[in-house]
């Protein structure tokens, strides 16, 4: 059975899909108490094309602050770039476009960016990732960093950041649930490990209500095989990355000024060899039809 690589983020999003759960989570992370009468509005982005969520969780508190929370099972230093894109989409949802052209300044909720890490690799309890770390250094030019975004990363693995986990029943329960799955996986298949972890949590009064109502859903999230569409999307992306890397390297070796053109050729070869249609290859690579036709004859 194939493991769904997005499984923990999916379960995480399901667990923290209600205002009260988000209130508790944010209060624990910030070390404050969000009043029960504070209005929590969830505005998590949805991607209609792939029928899934783009970001894990986003919400506002009293329309004063907008919080984006991402759950990560692998260390990803590009998360500030992704969050920059997310927050733009969120603001598009909550700001009336016509007000942007009025003379009076439009006030917007202040953003906050939080990442909760629950992977197997070693990682500190807390770390900050900054958008400016990705900026290119332009030789000979003095630049002013006029845009910054800081993602606050917390390690929520079982036993880490105990002062945060003990303040959130949901977060500590989630952390323990994932830890139990990993422990059972040493001896059992994935599906049996998930079932055993759910059983353990219910017997020990951990996230009981969540598992009572969503046990089957959680099991599917953790063990379901990806759809054909997901496999195609993942493999196409991998082919693109492989072809880009190989093509640029070939371009360097051949002294070509335009390594990206060589990369497009390599990507086209890979896609055609994998059975992609010429139309799809043209859309992805931007190569003209004559070149693709020649490659199709040679590599399909």
What is the average pLDDT across 265-274?
Answer: 68
42 close to 19: Cβ distance less than 8 angstroms: yes
Give residue-wise pLDDT tens across range 103-149: 899 999 999 999 999 998 899 999 999 999 998 877 767 666 688 99
Mean residue pLDDT of the chain comes to 80
Q: What is the pLDDT of residue 214?
A: 79
Task: Give residue 249's pLDDT.
Answer: 57
pLDDT at residue 236 in the model: 56
Residue 110 phi, psi dihedral angles, 5° rounding: -70, 140
Domain range summary for the chain, segments of one domain joined by + = 7-223, 228-299
pLDDT for 75 equals 82
**Residue 96 has which token pair?**
């009336």
Question: Distance between CA 275 and CA 299 in Å, rounded?
Answer: 10
CB contact at 8 A, 168 and 176 = no
Q: Is the pLDDT of residue 91 over 90?
A: yes
Nearest to 77 by CA among 134, 34, 122, 35: 134
Q: What is the mean pLDDT of residues 69-85?
A: 90
Choose between 137 and 263: higher pLDDT: 137
Sequence-distant (≥ 6) Cβ neighbours of residue 232 within 8 angstroms: none
**Which one has a higher pLDDT value, 216 or 232?**
216
Select the more confidently predicted residue: 7 or 113: 113
**Strands (DSSP E) along the chain, which ranges?**
40-42, 46-47, 52-53, 57-61, 65-72, 110-117, 126-130, 150-155
pLDDT in tens, 33-75: 998 899 999 998 875 443 445 678 999 999 999 999 999 988 8
Give 191's pLDDT tier (boundaries 50, 70, 90): confident
Say what the pLDDT of residue 49 is.
40
CB 289 within 8 A of CB 262: no
Least confident of 55-69, 178-192, 199-213: 199-213
CB 79 within 8 A of CB 70: yes
DSSP assignment string, 174-231: HHHHHHHHHHHTTTS-HHHHHHHHHHHHHHTTSSHHHHHHHHHHHHHHHHPPPPHHHH
* pTM (two decimals): 0.71
At 224 the pLDDT is 64
Task: Measure the CA–CA gap between 73 and 78, rounded to whole angstroms.
Answer: 14
């Amino acid at each position: 059975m194939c493991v769904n690589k997005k499984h923990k983020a999916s379960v995480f999003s399901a667990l923290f899909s209600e205002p009260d759960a988000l209130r508790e989570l944010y209060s624990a992370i910030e070390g404050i108490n969000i009043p029960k009468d504070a209005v929590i509005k969830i505005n998590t982005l949805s991607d209609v094309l792939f029928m899934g969520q783009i970001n894990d969780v986003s919400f506002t508190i009293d329309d004063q602050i907008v919080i984006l929370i991402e759950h990560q099972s692998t260390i990803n230093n590009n998360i500030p770039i992704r969050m920059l894109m997310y927050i733009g989409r969120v603001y598009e949802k909550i700001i009336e476009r016509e007000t942007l052209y009025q003379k009076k300044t439009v006030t917007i909720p202040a953003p906050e960016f939080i990442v909760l890490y629950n992977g197997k690799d070693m990682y500190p309890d807390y770390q900050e990732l900054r958008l400016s770390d990705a900026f290119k250094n332009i030789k000979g030019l003095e630049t002013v960093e006029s845009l910054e975004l800081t993602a606050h990363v917390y390690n929520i693995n079982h036993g880490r950041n105990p002062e945060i986990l003990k303040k959130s029943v949901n977060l500590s329960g989630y952390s323990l649930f994932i830890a139990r799955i990993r422990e059972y996986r040493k001896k059992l298949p994935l599906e049996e490990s998930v079932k055993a972890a759910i059983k353990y949590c219910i017997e020990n009064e951990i996230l009981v209500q969540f598992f009572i109502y969503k046990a089957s859903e959680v099991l599917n999230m953790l063990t379901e095989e990806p759809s054909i569409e997901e496999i195609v999307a993942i493999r196409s992306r991998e082919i693109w990355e492989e072809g880009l890397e190989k093509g640029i390297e070939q371009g360097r070796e051949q002294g070509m000024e335009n390594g990206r053109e060589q990369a497009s050729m390599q990507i086209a070869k890979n896609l055609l060899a994998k059975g992609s249609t010429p139309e799809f290859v043209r859309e992805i690579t931007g190569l003209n039809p004559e070149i693709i036709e020649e490659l199709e004859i040679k590599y399909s």
